């Protein structure tokens, strides 16, 4: 039984082995400061993967997350430049709302017009990036134009961990509660697992998918502010192609692309796996240009692995065969 | 006895029905699925809904559960009209349905499946997992099921899943419980347990709609019956005093002899021999032979492995053991394309998914497996293609506006004619018909039966897979009964009796019989 | 047997006259749009109606259209390949590597086409052998193929292709008729015949409408899909030859985002994104429409990234508007 639990064990084991291998050659990699740095660096991926997870669970996909992140991040930066005195808390709330609104556009097109999610989000991906250009005419917003409080928040340490890392933890915990303990969380699984039956139990499939896109968008918006503030720069192409890493994290984490199967912990481990790989590359002196190919290979291997372990047993007619399983 | 339920006199205990369907009409493109039907459900009573496939039973279920909205008529709850605009409305009114397999979620736990949509909440609106598990345990205990509420559904077997579905029905304050073919996938022992459960529900005063076409179980547990035919109400009343023949008469609308114009064809030499066909999970050790001009029936309950076996004959499912001989030569069939070459074709049960390509025109459907016959060097010759399509559709007396009409726009009966025409155009030697008259109107049904006889007379060998006893008995020269993936019996001549078929199909031993 | 109506009767081949059907089709509408844009462009810019300018305009779509033809068949069959732009990057990189090793033009072309074919075959194997969904497979290979390019090239570039290699992307066959345009025209005819006139094309439609039904009808579904992935890869390889020849250099970021324009072209051409219907003439006209629009906006000095907004809106709008229209009427 428990193919998924074993998936998490495998993934967790793989990460540990990977870290151990690196540490055996470069002990500095497991110094507490470095571990915190790796975790913090992976937090944006973890946050976005939480949103993508919900979307994929409902049999959709959101390729616009990185573009949403870039657009929301840019607007946050523009607001900061225009009104440096505005409290960061307000900007954070604004980022959540703006991201959710952009996600809602995707969701509405999928829900009300039944346009395939891949088409919708491929389209909005380019539109969002184009809008950034329209807003800025291609200009960058650099560190010196942003207020110190704006750029400082994600990097501020609390109990040794930067706020960015804490936000990653908070999002993960909230999503665990949502997925396990709320009607909506169960509905995500139900809609993806058996949409036909979900209708019978009174779940509105389209509306559930819409909410998944809103959540994905909201988390992308949140990450937008964090990203721009952390790197203290905003331009059209920030986080370019990052949506592929997000999908990769989910797929590696065992989220079935056919919908309805997967766990929060698996997704987090999937993101962490990619984060460790990415941070290990410079340590073991491999060019960072390997990153893209590694993500791609990881997606393919993980999807193939998911498909093998997820092969439906089908209806078993022979009694003897049923007992044998 | 055709009292339509409303004017029942001798039953004071059930003076008022809980739920009433009043002159409900539901139309789909090309089909009137329900035509002004009425149905009453009384507290503490089991009403059997009887009808052939396509009579409108599943449409009634979908109307009662808020999936479909009727075009006409109304639903009355305690005598008051209630619109079931969404499944939630129906659930709130206390209507709950137990479906065979579709209604459950593999990746959720047993408790979550039971309580999805109405989970107990704790503070902050979160699901109270502990309460949910406790309640599920209680309900499962009350029906004698020992299933861990925390286990994921995908780890359960068929019978346990069924109990979960029943527990779900019990978890809501249900007043009306719909059981749609609840015994189809169950063993005899599990069926007996289900009957006890139905008795429990009755005692609790719930109104039960029991959908089945197995007469033995209808007579065992139903208090009332309602019979549909072609979307219309043809009879309703109390089970006491009604005879099986009367119900069959209502269901079919004409006697069996009229329906099945089987002419004795001359049965020739062996065409197809199957030896030791086995599959790891679906069927085992299937042996039989088929002769020229013969109609060989395959009977069994739904899920006996008949379709799975037939699909292995045409290379869809791969057998693990066994061999096929055609005219004495061993043939290995790994794909439908190879089967067509070998002269074996299969008219599948699932017409919309496997049989026809609904969004393509009639003529393209007909010529799809025989395109090589109407093309040159891989280039389509439209005139020849249309000619071939015309030849076979006219032979089957197809009714359609034009040959470039999409198959999806036709009625079920005409769709089936297109599918059969498509396979005849390949000039097969063996044609396998899997539930060929399921869901089609009486007229087309008779046409298909007549045509089947004609084909056999012309020397084609026919395998007829059917769950309808009258059809099997009326059409077949010989019948093989399958049960749980194995051949349970091979019957011919005087052994072709309804009771014998059923006994072999469900696995009750037959006394004093040597078949 | 059936008593409701009289004996067998003639079923007509067709209901509507083909001409009437053609006039109401998506292709006619698209053609009208194309003509409209053509007129608008000639009014908006005095430079537009010039044979050489018009010839230049064709470069905006010829390479994408080569891929779009194969992609149209792939999408009609119910699959998709999002990795085509990355295949271009990898194929172009392969050509660069071959050039560094001193290969001449024929070997360069062969390297590009072979790389495309191998990439397409890789996608096809994953989809048909392992039964994986093509969207995710090609999202993965989209990273993988371009990633390999980055591994080989880093932030560098290949330059210095042989001078006769430039013929593919910069040469002219006759007057203003470019080599690329001729390749485009030949492929349009090839794919049009393949899709609309052959048994293979018919099976593509059948698979897209109902893959199970097609399988039960004796069509070798996996083989057809495999061929379509190979063709799409090959076309991406061909586009890589043309593009590399035209630019005269290879960077790993070459053709970034082109998959979106190819898919948009296919969808604009009236191909159902869910599979089952569409036509090559539609895609041909869509190619002209997109080329004209891009060129027209270029003449008006609209930057490229703003055009991409337009492409994105087009992709969603083309699917959304008919649905909105039918919702509004129904």
Residue A218 CA to residue A223 CA, distance in Å, equals 9
Q: Which of A75-84, B187-196, B506-515 has the lowest mean pLDDT?
A: B506-515
SS3 call for C155: coil
pLDDT for A92 equals: 94
User: Nearest Cβ partner of A200 from B67, B157, B308?
Assistant: B67
Q: Does C8 touch chain B (CB under 8 A)?
A: yes
pLDDT for B143 equals: 77
Tell whether the model's pLDDT for residue B10 goes beyond 60: no
Sheet holding B31-41, edge to edge: B31-41, B19-28, B72-77, B80-81
pLDDT for B184 equals: 65
User: Nearest Cβ partner of B87 from A187, A200, A313?
Assistant: A200
Under a CB-based contact definition with an 8 Å cutoff, are residues B444 and B414 in contact? Answer: yes
Whether A20 maps to a domain, the answer reads yes
B358·C205 Cβ contact <8 A: no
Predicted confidence (pLDDT) per residue in B91-114, tens digit? 888 888 876 555 678 888 999 888
C162 lies in which domain range? 57-317
Instruction: Please state, rounded to an integer, the average pLDDT across all residues of chain A.
Output: 89
Do B2 and B87 fall within a single domain? yes
User: Nearest Cβ partner of B107 from A180, A189, A319?
Assistant: A189
Do B69 and B196 fall within a single domain? yes
Question: Into how many domains does chain A fold?
Answer: 1
User: A309: pLDDT confidence band, cut at 50, 70 and 90?
Assistant: low
Residue C182 CA to residue C205 CA, distance in Å, equals 27
User: Nearest Cβ partner of B155 from A1, A196, A199?
Assistant: A1
Q: Which two tokens stand for residue C283?
A: 């895609």
User: Nearest Cβ partner of A287 from C154, C311, C327?
Assistant: C154
C130·A307 Cβ contact <8 A: yes
Residue C229 CA to residue C222 CA, distance in Å, equals 11
B353·C213 Cβ contact <8 A: yes
Residue C217 CA to residue B345 CA, distance in Å, equals 9
Predicted confidence (pLDDT) per residue in B13-67, tens digit? 556 888 999 999 988 765 678 888 999 999 999 999 987 666 788 888 888 888 8
- Taking contacts as CB-CB distances below 8 angstroms, the residues of chain C near A116 are 273-274
Whether A242 maps to a domain, the answer reads yes
Percentage of chain B beyond pLDDT 70 is: 89
Under a CB-based contact definition with an 8 Å cutoff, are residues C37 and C289 in contact? Answer: yes
Whether A315 maps to a domain, the answer reads no
User: A154: pLDDT confidence band, cut at 50, 70 and 90?
Assistant: confident
Residue A269 CA to residue A266 CA, distance in Å, equals 5
Do B70 and B110 fall within a single domain? no
Residue B104 CA to residue C95 CA, distance in Å, equals 54
Can you tell me the mean pLDDT for B123-149? 86
Nearest Cα residue in chain C from A291? C147
B102·A1 Cβ contact <8 A: no
CATH number for the domain harbouring residue B76:
3.40.50.300
ipTM above 0.90, yes or no: no
Do B160 and B307 fall within a single domain? no
- Taking contacts as CB-CB distances below 8 angstroms, the residues of chain B near A181 are 126-127, 129
B368·C214 Cβ contact <8 A: yes
Question: Into how many domains does chain C fold?
Answer: 1
Do B47 and B164 fall within a single domain? no
Do B41 and B142 fall within a single domain? no
DSSP secondary structure code for residue B402 in this structure: -
Segments of chain C scoring below 50 in pLDDT:
1-8
Whether C4 maps to a domain, the answer reads no
Q: What is the DSSP string of A42-110?
A: HHHHHHHHHHHHHHHHTT---TTHHHHHHHHHHHHHHHHHH-TTS-HHHHHHHHHHHHHHHHHHHHHHH
pLDDT for B260 equals: 67
User: Nearest Cβ partner of A299 from C143, C274, C327?
Assistant: C143
Tell whether the model's pLDDT for residue B170 goes beyond 50: yes
C1·B397 Cβ contact <8 A: yes
Whether C50 maps to a domain, the answer reads no
User: A1: pLDDT confidence band, cut at 50, 70 and 90?
Assistant: very low
Do B78 and B3 fall within a single domain? yes
A253 lies in which domain range? 3-310
- Taking contacts as CB-CB distances below 8 angstroms, the residues of chain B near A186 are 108, 112, 116, 119, 127
Q: Give the B:C interface size as CB pairs under 8 Å.
A: 114
Rg (C-alpha) for chain A, rounded Å, is 20
How close B311 comes to chain A (CA, Å)?
A: 14
- Taking contacts as CB-CB distances below 8 angstroms, the residues of chain B near C220 are 335, 337
pLDDT for A265 equals: 94
pLDDT for C2 equals: 38
Can you tell me the mean pLDDT for B222-246? 86
Q: Which of A247-261, B461-475, B489-503 has the lowest mean pLDDT?
A: B489-503
Residue C150 CA to residue C147 CA, distance in Å, equals 5
Residue B413 CA to residue B431 CA, distance in Å, equals 18
Residue A55 CA to residue A51 CA, distance in Å, equals 7
pLDDT for C94 equals: 97
How close C65 comes to chain B (CA, Å)?
A: 24
Please tell me which residue, B429 or B166, carries the higher pLDDT value: B429
A129·C306 Cβ contact <8 A: no
pLDDT for A125 equals: 93
User: Nearest Cβ partner of A181 from B129, B308, B485?
Assistant: B129
A300·C147 Cβ contact <8 A: no
Do B312 and B443 fall within a single domain? yes
Residue B405 CA to residue A325 CA, distance in Å, equals 48
Whether A65 maps to a domain, the answer reads yes
CATH number for the domain harbouring residue A9:
1.10.3470
pLDDT for A90 equals: 95
Whether B295 maps to a domain, the answer reads yes
User: B509: pLDDT confidence band, cut at 50, 70 and 90?
Assistant: low
> What is the number of other CB atoms lying within 10 angstroms of the CB of residue A159?
5
Phi-psi label, residue C278: left if phi above 0, alpha if psi -120 to 50, beta otherwise: left
B88·A202 Cβ contact <8 A: yes
A300·C320 Cβ contact <8 A: no
- Taking contacts as CB-CB distances below 8 angstroms, the residues of chain B near C218 are 335-337, 339-340, 368-369
Do B74 and B200 fall within a single domain? yes
Whether A323 maps to a domain, the answer reads no
Whether B164 maps to a domain, the answer reads yes
Whether A91 maps to a domain, the answer reads yes
Q: What is the b/e burial string over B96-125, where b = at least 16 CB atoms within 10 angstroms of the residue's CB?
A: bbbbbeebbbbbbbbbbbbbbbbbeeeeee
Do B266 and B225 fall within a single domain? no
- pTM of full prediction above 0.90: no
- Taking contacts as CB-CB distances below 8 angstroms, the residues of chain A near B110 are none
| CA distances in angstroms from C145 to C86, C137, C233, listed in the order given | 5, 12, 12
Do B297 and B228 fall within a single domain? no
A129·C305 Cβ contact <8 A: yes
Whether B348 maps to a domain, the answer reads no
Tell whether the model's pLDDT for residue A267 goes beyond 60: yes
B108·A321 Cβ contact <8 A: no
Q: Give the A:B interface size as CB pairs under 8 Å.
A: 99
Whether A319 maps to a domain, the answer reads no
List of chains touching B (3+ CB pairs within 8 A): A, C
B312: enclosing H helix or E strand: helix B306-313
Residue A104 CA to residue B426 CA, distance in Å, equals 52
- Taking contacts as CB-CB distances below 8 angstroms, the residues of chain B near A322 are 157-158, 281
Q: Does B408 touch chain C (CB under 8 A)?
A: no
- Taking contacts as CB-CB distances below 8 angstroms, the residues of chain B near C212 are 353-354
A317·B107 Cβ contact <8 A: no
CATH number for the domain harbouring residue C132:
1.10.3470
User: Nearest Cβ partner of A116 from C126, C139, C273?
Assistant: C273
Tell whether the model's pLDDT for residue B128 goes beyond 80: yes
B182 lies in which domain range? 1-94+175-253
pLDDT for B5 equals: 40
Tell whether the model's pLDDT for residue A280 goes beyond 60: yes
- Taking contacts as CB-CB distances below 8 angstroms, the residues of chain B near C198 are 375, 378-380
C305·A138 Cβ contact <8 A: yes
Q: Does C181 touch chain A (CB under 8 A)?
A: no
| CA distances in angstroms from A214 to A64, A169, A172, A194, B10, listed in the order given | 12, 20, 17, 21, 59
How close B97 comes to chain A (CA, Å)?
A: 9
Question: Into how many domains does chain B fold?
Answer: 4
Helices (H) and strands (E) counted in chain B, each on its own, are: 17, 22
Whether B408 maps to a domain, the answer reads yes
Looking at B427, B458, B484, the residue that finishes a domain is B427
Most confident among A85-94, A296-305, B467-476 (mean pLDDT): A85-94
- Taking contacts as CB-CB distances below 8 angstroms, the residues of chain B near C215 are 316, 336
Do B439 and B338 fall within a single domain? yes
pLDDT for C57 equals: 85
pLDDT for C53 equals: 84
Percentage of chain B beyond pLDDT 90 is: 26
Whether B304 maps to a domain, the answer reads yes
Mutate: best of A3, A201, A262, partner B, most B CBs <10 A: A201
């Amino acid at each position: 039984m428990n193919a998924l639990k074993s998936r998490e064990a495998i993934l967790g084991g793989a990460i540990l082995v990977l870290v151990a291998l690196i540490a055996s050659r470069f002990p500095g990699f497991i110094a507490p400061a470095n571990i915190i740095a790796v975790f913090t660096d992976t937090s944006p991926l973890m946050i976005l993967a939480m949103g993508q997870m919900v979307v994929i669970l409902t049999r959709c996909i959101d390729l616009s997350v990185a573009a949403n992140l870039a657009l929301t991040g840019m607007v946050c930066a523009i607001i900061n430049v225009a009104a440096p005195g505005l409290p960061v808390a307000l900007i954070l709330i604004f980022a959540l709302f703006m991201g959710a609104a952009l996600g809602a556009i995707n969701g509405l097109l999928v829900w009300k017009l039944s346009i395939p999610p891949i088409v919708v989000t491929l389209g909005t991906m380019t539109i969002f990036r184009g809008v950034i250009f329209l807003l800025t005419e291609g200009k960058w917003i650099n560190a010196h134009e942003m207020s110190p409080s704006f750029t400082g928040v994600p990097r501020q340490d609390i109990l040794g961990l930067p706020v960015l890392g804490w936000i990653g933890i908070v999002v993960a915990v909230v999503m665990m509660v949502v997925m396990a303990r709320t009607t909506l969380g169960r509905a995500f699984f139900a809609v993806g697992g058996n949409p036909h039956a979900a209708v019978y139990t009174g779940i509105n499939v389209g509306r559930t998918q819409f909410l998944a896109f809103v959540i994905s968008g909201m988390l992308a918006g949140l990450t937008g502010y964090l990203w721009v503030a952390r790197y203290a720069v905003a331009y059209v192409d920030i986080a370019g192609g990052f949506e592929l890493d997000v999908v990769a994290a989910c797929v590696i984490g065992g989220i079935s692309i056919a919908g309805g199967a997967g766990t929060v912990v698996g997704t987090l481990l999937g993101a962490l796996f990619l984060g460790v790989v990415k941070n290990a590359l410079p340590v073991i002196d491999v060019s960072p240009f390997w990153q893209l190919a590694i993500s791609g290979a990881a997606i393919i291997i993980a999807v193939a692995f998911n498909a093998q372990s997820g092969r439906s047993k089908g209806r078993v007619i022979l009694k003897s065969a049923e007992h044998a399983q | 006895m055709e009292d339509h339920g409303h004017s029942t006199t001798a039953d004071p205990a059930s003076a008022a029905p809980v739920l009433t369907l009043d002159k409900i009409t539901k139309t789909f493109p090309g089909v009137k699925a329900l035509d002004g039907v009425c149905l009453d459900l009384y507290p503490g009573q089991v009403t059997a809904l009887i009808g052939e496939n396509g009579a409108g039973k599943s449409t009634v279920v979908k109307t009662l559960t808020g999936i479909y909205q009727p075009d006409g008529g109304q639903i009355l709850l305690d005598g008051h009209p209630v619109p079931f605009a969404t499944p939630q409305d129906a659930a709130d009114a206390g209507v709950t349905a137990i479906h065979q397999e579709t209604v459950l979620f593999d990746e959720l736990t047993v408790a979550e499946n039971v309580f999805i949509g109405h989970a107990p909440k704790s503070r902050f609106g979160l699901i109270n997992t502990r309460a949910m598990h406790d309640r599920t345990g209680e309900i499962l205990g009350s029906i004698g099921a020992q299933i861990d509420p925390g286990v994921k559904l995908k780890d359960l077997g068929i019978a346990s899943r069924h109990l979960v579905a029943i527990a779900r029905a019990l978890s809501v304050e249900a007043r009306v419980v719909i059981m749609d073919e609840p015994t189809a996938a169950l063993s005899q022992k599990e069926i007996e347990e289900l009957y006890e459960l139905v008795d429990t529900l009755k005692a609790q005063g719930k109104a039960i709609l029991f959908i089945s076409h197995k007469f033995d179980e209808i007579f065992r547990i139903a208090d009332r019956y309602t019979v549909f035919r072609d979307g219309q109400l043809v009879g309703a009343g109390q089970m006491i005093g009604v005879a099986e023949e009367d119900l069959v008469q209502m269901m079919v609308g004409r006697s069996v002899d009229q329906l099945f114009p089987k002419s004795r064809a001359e049965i020739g030499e062996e065409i197809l021999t199957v030896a030791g066909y086995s599959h790891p999970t679906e069927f085992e050790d299937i042996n039989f032979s088929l002769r020229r001009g013969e109609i060989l029936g395959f009977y069994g309950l739904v899920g006996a492995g008949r379709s799975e076996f037939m699909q292995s004959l045409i290379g869809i499912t791969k057998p693990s053991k066994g061999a096929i001989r055609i005219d004495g030569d061993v043939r290995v069939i790994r794909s439908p394309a190879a089967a067509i070459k070998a002269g074996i074709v299969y008219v599948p049960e699932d017409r919309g998914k496997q049989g026809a390509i609904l969004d393509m025109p009639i003529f393209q459907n007909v010529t799809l497996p025989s395109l090589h016959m109407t093309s040159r060097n891989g280039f389509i010759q439209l005139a020849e293609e249309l000619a071939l399509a015309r030849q076979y559709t006219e032979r089957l007396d197809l009714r359609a506006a034009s040959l470039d009409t999409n198959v999806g726009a036709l009625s079920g009966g005409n769709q089936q004619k297109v599918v059969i025409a498509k396979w005849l155009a390949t000039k097969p030697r063996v044609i396998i018909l899997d539930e060929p008259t399921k869901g089609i109107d009486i007229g087309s049904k008779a046409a298909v039966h007549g045509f089947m006889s004609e084909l056999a007379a012309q020397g084609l060998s026919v395998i007829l897979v059917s769950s309808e006893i009258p059809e099997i008995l009326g059409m077949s020269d010989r019948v093989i009964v399958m049960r749980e993936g194995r051949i349970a019996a091979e019957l011919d001549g005087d052994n072709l009796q309804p009771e014998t078929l059923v006994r072999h199909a469900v696995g009750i031993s037959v006394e004093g019989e040597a078949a | 047997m059936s008593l409701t109506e009289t004996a067998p009767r003639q079923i007509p081949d067709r209901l509507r006259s083909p001409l009437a059907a053609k006039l109401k089709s998506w292709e006619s509408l698209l053609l009208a749009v194309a003509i409209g844009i053509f007129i608008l462009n000639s009014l908006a810019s005095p430079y537009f109606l010039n044979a050489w300018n018009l010839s230049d305009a064709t470069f905006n779509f010829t390479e994408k259209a080569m891929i779009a033809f194969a992609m149209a068949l792939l999408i009609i069959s119910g699959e998709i390949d999002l990795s085509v732009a990355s295949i271009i990057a990898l194929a172009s990189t392969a050509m660069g590597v071959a050039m560094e090793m001193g290969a001449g033009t024929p070997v360069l072309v062969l390297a590009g086409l072979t790389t495309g074919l191998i990439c397409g075959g890789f996608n096809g194997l994953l989809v048909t052998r392992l039964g994986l969904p093509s969207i995710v497979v090609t999202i993965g290979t989209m990273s993988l193929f371009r990633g390999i390019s980055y591994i080989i090239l880093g932030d560098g570039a290949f330059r210095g292709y042989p001078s006769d290699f430039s013929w593919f992307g910069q040469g002219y066959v006759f007057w203003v008729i470019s080599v690329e345009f001729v390749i485009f025209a030949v492929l349009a005819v090839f794919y049009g015949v393949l899709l609309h006139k052959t048994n293979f094309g018919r099976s593509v439609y059948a698979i897209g409408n109902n893959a199970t039904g097609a399988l039960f009808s004796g069509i070798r579904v996996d083989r057809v899909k495999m061929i379509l992935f190979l063709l799409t890869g090959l076309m991406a390889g061909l586009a890589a030859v043309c593009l590399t020849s035209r630019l005269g250099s290879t960077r790993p970021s070459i053709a970034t985002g082109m998959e979106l324009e190819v898919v948009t072209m296919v969808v604009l051409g009236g191909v159902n994104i869910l599979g089952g219907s569409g036509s090559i003439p539609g895609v041909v006209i869509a190619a002209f429409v997109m080329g004209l629009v891009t060129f027209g906006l270029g003449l008006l000095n609209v930057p490229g990234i703003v055009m991409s907004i337009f492409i994105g809106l087009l992709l969603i709008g083309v699917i959304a508007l008919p649905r909105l229209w039918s919702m509004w009427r129904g």
